[in-house]
Amino acid sequence: QVQLVESGGDLVQTGGSLRLSCAASGSIFRINAMGWYRQASGKQRELVAHITSGGSTDYADSVKGRFTISRDNAKNTVHQQMNSLKPEGPAVYYCNAVIETTNGGPMYNYWGQGTQVTVSS
């Protein structure tokens, strides 16, 4: 059993900052890629930022230069620093991780329960 638990979502003013965190726990042998997705009401879930096990990162064009994803492999955590937030409407941010639960076993895709971010204008 693997769990991803996000934290850090909040109501913030335009131009403000938030730091999201996600901790993975349970039967984990190795965590491969990790990422943050967001979903606004009535819209599809979209990739915000992605980080490989080696630390290579990728961002949605809309957040480049404002968001920074990082991870702590020793603690099985991933973070997302969000600066210069824009009033894009409330969205739920989801943590995602590709995890091997056993040595040499298959990789599984896990999701957290989400944390809400609302940016007020």
Report yes or no: 35 and 51 within 8 Å, Cβ to Cβ. Answer: yes
Residues 6 or more apart whose Cβ sits within 8 Å of residue 17: 81, 82, 83, 84, 85
In this prediction, residue 89 carries a pLDDT of 80
**Beta strand pairing call for 91-100 and 30-40:** antiparallel
Tell which residue, 29, 26, 30, has the closest CA to residue 2. 26
Dump pLDDT digits (tens) for 1-28: 899 999 999 999 999 999 999 999 999 9
Residue 108 pLDDT greater than 90, yes or no:
yes
Q: Report which residue type is found at 29.
A: F
Read off the pLDDT of residues 84-105 as tens digits, 9 standing for 90 and up.
Answer: 999 878 999 999 999 999 888 8
**Residue closest to 24 by CA, chosen among 2, 49, 1:** 2
Rounded to the nearest 5°, which phi and psi values hold at 95?
Answer: -90, 140
